[in-house]
């Protein structure tokens, strides 16, 4: 711990990204930008260092801060799996939409889709978007074709009006899709849904993924054992929350002493999507991974989500399937973006629905040094442990679910 503000608070971050082929270049640039922004607004220095290779698995950089409570030093390890993402990234959008049309029915039969509507409906809209895109593309071609044929074959003036209406409807469908692609990102969300379906079939169905998760576990244990930081955070964002929950579970399996209240280790999930797998009515290998948390009721797992974020399962507890779930695990916290970002910032995300999903990784417009509101920069570079900063804040209740 700190000694008269001269010894820095030492933190180790292990970050697992979402299903994003941009990988480390995107995240490192983002953190550089956001720490510079935070420093300019707050008047306190937080700097992101240069990126370095640390073996094949890890890309590492430092985040250092000079804050009123003292200096901080963070080793930030980006745990790579974007090579696996790119191997499973089909570049043919039309194929993604077509597969997603049938994938939506699989989610229905698996019990995921209708439960999502009941408990976190905004992401149900996002889950539907790729299939709707496929349908509108199909109608956008079929209806004008029928209409053109109708101009010749449909009898009388009414027939011609119907034919023109079909052409207009098809054209409008294509126009609407093109206009809203950036708002809902159906191509990206379709790829995520298809990958999650592939992943859950068996533990080793995605080539190299299970081995990579074990390599992450090995690296985390070795790094914490050797470095002995004041705090070690496993952070997962978006689909990375699914992998982060598995990795943390396996770490605790091998280091059960890290599951206590005095442990330096904590799990942070940002904009969770693991319920896409956890909601399945039939138990899977993923449920077996999550079941380990029952043995560690004092482990710190903070789950941040936001109800307006249409790409996450907001305020949903993925451990609800456990009959003996530890109370308050995970601690579900509303990111309350409306309190930390400007109205202009929020309005942009209300239109571009996927934009808010990345606000978890952005510096707030109003830095939160002395509150328990969400602040990404303080999460990775502050002088407090995440457990301590949010200890007095109660776990939030489900937002959309009706009891």
pLDDT in tens, the chain (403 residues): 444 457 899 999 999 999 999 889 999 999 999 999 999 999 999 999 999 998 889 999 999 999 999 999 999 999 999 999 999 998 888 888 889 889 999 999 999 999 999 999 989 988 898 888 888 888 888 888 888 888 888 888 888 888 889 888 888 888 887 777 777 788 888 899 999 999 998 888 999 999 999 999 999 999 999 999 999 999 999 999 999 999 999 999 999 999 999 999 999 999 999 999 999 999 999 999 999 999 999 999 999 999 989 899 999 999 999 988 888 899 999 999 999 999 999 998 887 778 899 999 999 999 999 899 999 999 999 999 999 999 999 998 888 876 5
Contact 63, 46 (CB under 8 A): yes
Containing H/E element for 241?
A: helix 240-254
CATH of the domain at 289: 3.40.50
- Give the whole-angstrom CA distance, residue 163 versus residue 186: 30
Residue 15 shares a structural domain with residue 132: no
Write out the residue range of the structural domain in which residue 163 sits: 93-195
Residue 347 shares a structural domain with residue 373: yes
Query: Would residue 303 count as lying in a domain?
Result: yes
- Give the whole-angstrom CA distance, residue 233 versus residue 324: 26
Contact 301, 387 (CB under 8 A): no
pLDDT of residue 170: 85
- Give the whole-angstrom CA distance, residue 370 versus residue 355: 27
Query: Would residue 396 count as lying in a domain?
Result: no
Residue 302 shares a structural domain with residue 354: yes
Say if strands 45-48 and 52-54 run parallel, antiparallel, or are unpaired. unpaired
Last residue of a domain, which of 195, 223, 250? 195
Residue 68 shares a structural domain with residue 172: no
pLDDT of residue 403: 58
Query: Would residue 61 count as lying in a domain?
Result: yes
Number of domains within the chain = 2
CA atoms within 13 A on the CB side of 210: 12
Residue 31 shares a structural domain with residue 154: no
Using DSSP's 3-state secondary structure scheme, residue 314 falls into coil
Residue 291 shares a structural domain with residue 366: yes
Query: Would residue 395 count as lying in a domain?
Result: no
Residue 169 shares a structural domain with residue 232: no
Contact 309, 120 (CB under 8 A): no
Contact 15, 76 (CB under 8 A): yes
Closest CA to 147 of 133, 160, 157, 158: 160
Residue 132 shares a structural domain with residue 222: no
* C-alpha 163, offset from chain centre: 45
Last residue of a domain, which of 166, 195, 224? 195
Residue 146 shares a structural domain with residue 101: yes
- Give the whole-angstrom CA distance, residue 333 versus residue 239: 18
Residue 165 shares a structural domain with residue 23: no
Residue 156 shares a structural domain with residue 214: no
Residue with tokens 């328990």: 372
Last residue of a domain, which of 195, 224, 252? 195
- Give the whole-angstrom CA distance, residue 139 versus residue 142: 5
Residue 100 shares a structural domain with residue 78: no
pLDDT of residue 1: 40
Query: Would residue 398 count as lying in a domain?
Result: no
Contact 283, 97 (CB under 8 A): no
pLDDT of residue 135: 85
pLDDT of residue 133: 85
Say if strands 300-305 and 331-334 run parallel, antiparallel, or are unpaired. parallel
């Amino acid at each position: 711990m700190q000694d008269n503000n001269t010894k820095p608070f030492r933190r180790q971050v292990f970050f697992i990204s979402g299903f994003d082929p941009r990988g480390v270049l995107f995240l490192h640039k983002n953190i550089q930008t956001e720490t510079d922004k935070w420093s300019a607004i707050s008047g306190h220095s937080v700097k992101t260092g240069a990126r370095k290779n640390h073996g094949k698995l890890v890309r590492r950089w430092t985040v250092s801060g000079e804050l009123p409570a003292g200096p901080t030093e963070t080793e930030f390890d980006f745990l790579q799996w974007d090579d696996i993402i790119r191997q499973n990234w089909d570049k043919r959008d039309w194929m993604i939409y077509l597969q997603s049309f049938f994938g939506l029915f699989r989610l229905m039969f698996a019990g995921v889709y209708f439960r999502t509507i009941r408990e976190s409906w905004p992401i149900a809209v996002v889950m539907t978007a790729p299939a709707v895109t496929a349908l509108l593309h199909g109608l956008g071609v079929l209806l004008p074709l029928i209409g053109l044929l109708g101009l010749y074959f449909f009898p009388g003036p009414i027939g011609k009006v119907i034919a023109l209406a079909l052409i207009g409807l098809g054209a409008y469908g294509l126009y609407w899709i093109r206009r809203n692609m950036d708002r809902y990102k159906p191509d990206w969300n379709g790829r995520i849904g298809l990958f999650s379906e592939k992943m859950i079939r068996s533990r080793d169905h995605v080539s190299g993924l299970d081995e990579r998760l074990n390599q992450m576990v090995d690296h985390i244990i070795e790094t914490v054992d050797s470095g002995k930081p004041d705090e070690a955070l496993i952070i997962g964002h978006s689909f990375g929350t699914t992998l982060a929950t598995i990795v943390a579970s396996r770490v605790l399996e091998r280091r059960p002493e890290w599951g206590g209240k005095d442990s330096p280790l904590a799990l942070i999930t940002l904009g969770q999507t693991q319920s896409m797998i956890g909601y399945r009515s039939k138990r899977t290998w993923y449920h077996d991974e999550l079941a380990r948390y029952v043995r560690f009721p004092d482990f710190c797992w903070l789950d941040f989500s936001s109800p307006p974020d249409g790409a996450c399962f907001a305020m949903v507890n993925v451990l609800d399937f456990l009959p003996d779930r530890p109370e308050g695990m995970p601690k579900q916290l509303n990111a309350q973006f409306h309190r930390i970002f400007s109205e202009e910032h929020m309005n942009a995300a209300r239109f571009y629905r996927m934009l808010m999903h990345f606000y978890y990784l952005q510096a707030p417009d109003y830095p939160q040094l002395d509150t328990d509101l969400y602040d990404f920069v303080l999460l990775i570079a502050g002088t407090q442990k995440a457990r301590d900063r949010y200890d007095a804040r109660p776990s939030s209740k489900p937002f959309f679910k009706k009891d």
